[in-house]
Amino acid sequence: MEKVGIAELPLHWGKAPRWLFNRMVKLAKCIAEVIVYEYGKEELLKRLSNPYWFQAFSCVLGWDFHSSGSTTVTLGALKAALKPEEHEIGIAGGKGKVSRKTPEEIKKIGDIFNLSTKNIEKLAYSSRMVAKVDNSLIQAGYPLYHHTFIFTENGKWVVVQQGFDVNNQTARRYHWISESVKSFVEEPHAAICCDIKKENVLDMTSKQSKEARKISVDLVREGPNRIRNDLLSLRPIYQKSLKEFLPVKAKDFVVHVLKMPKNVNWDALKKAYDFQPKNYEELIGIKGIGPSTVRGLALVSEIIYGSPPSWKDPVKYSFAYGGKDGVPKPVDRKAMDESIKFLDEILKQAEIEKKEKLEALKRLKKLLPE
């Protein structure tokens, strides 16, 4: 089973020092080249999709084990290290404004790989859908600010992206790999890792949300007026909330499923009605169908039609290996040891200076549980 999923990390401000970043690029290049030489390009993709391995890889390159920069800086170094014309691996996207250049970078690299227009468009579609799913279908309060799309000329790909929660100042990382994605809209992550398990998270990718997804499509196909009337009927202006009748101490309890979205993109719903999507993937692929609209449709499905989506946060594991105190789960020593053993073997084979190799091995050994 692929350990693909999400990592929760504290946000660290500032940039990586140039002296460190240059060495990270050099080390990343050596490690990646050995993996490709020994095991092939797809093995490198598989390793990058594994948060256990990814975290150890970041540490080997010299980055803090728990910093949000383990995503942005590590992938930035890897992107600088690997050239598509030399390594036959393309890396598109990045942090902030750079992430919005992903489609054009995929096109540019696709041309280098001599891919057909159809295959380039397919890769760009995958990149867009992955971002749309984690930004809109899993509503845990982490809007994306980083998106990296890594792919080979045979159409295999990996996505590592990250979102930021302004309330607790933490970042959440999402890992995807093409070979485990049977559907973009139903449990596309093979595993999910996170420090914090939140209450009442809308997860439209859950199998439990299947009927809610179907009703959402049916509603859109009937037209915006039907949806508008349903939304208005959920909470008349004169209706009081049960919360107002609760004792003072109990008023802290929040029924999230009754929280209506502040905005619904009616223009996008009109466009969706004209398009008549056949399924939920086609629906969320429409430009303008964002988190608020997804949530509004989910609420109508639950409250009016009795088909609730999943409100359970899909996280299953802590950030990378588990916590040494056993919270939220004990350290997964086997997975951790496998990651360290693999990197240890790769480092010993890599053609890097003896001093840097020893320093990298020392950082790797520090990850071993006592």
- Structurally, the chain folds into a number of domains equal to 2
| 42 lies in the same domain as 184 | yes
Q: What is the pTM of this model?
A: 0.82
pLDDT at 244 (0 to 100): 56
* Per-residue pLDDT band at 234 (split at 50, 70, 90): confident
Whether residues 294 and 326 fall in one domain: no
Based on the domain organization, do 221 and 251 belong to the same domain?
yes
pLDDT number for residue 166? 84
The mean pLDDT of the chain is 82
Residue 326, pLDDT > 50, answer: no
Q: What pLDDT, in 10s, does the model give residues 291-317? A: 999 999 999 999 899 999 999 988 665
Q: Count of residues for the chain?
A: 370
- Least confident window among 85-94, 105-114, 351-360: 351-360
Cα(177)–Cα(158) distance, integer angstroms: 4
275 and 324, same domain (yes or no): no
- Shared-domain flag, residues 136 and 259: no
Same domain for 98 and 146, yes or no, is: yes
pLDDT at 322 (0 to 100): 46
Res. 165 pLDDT band, cuts 50 70 90: confident
| Domain containing residue 69 | 6-197+316-365
- CA 148 – CA 113 distance, rounded (Å): 18
Q: Confidence band (pLDDT; 50, 70, 90) for 356?
A: confident
Are 14 and 159 found together in one domain? yes
Say if residue 15 is in the same domain as residue 143: yes
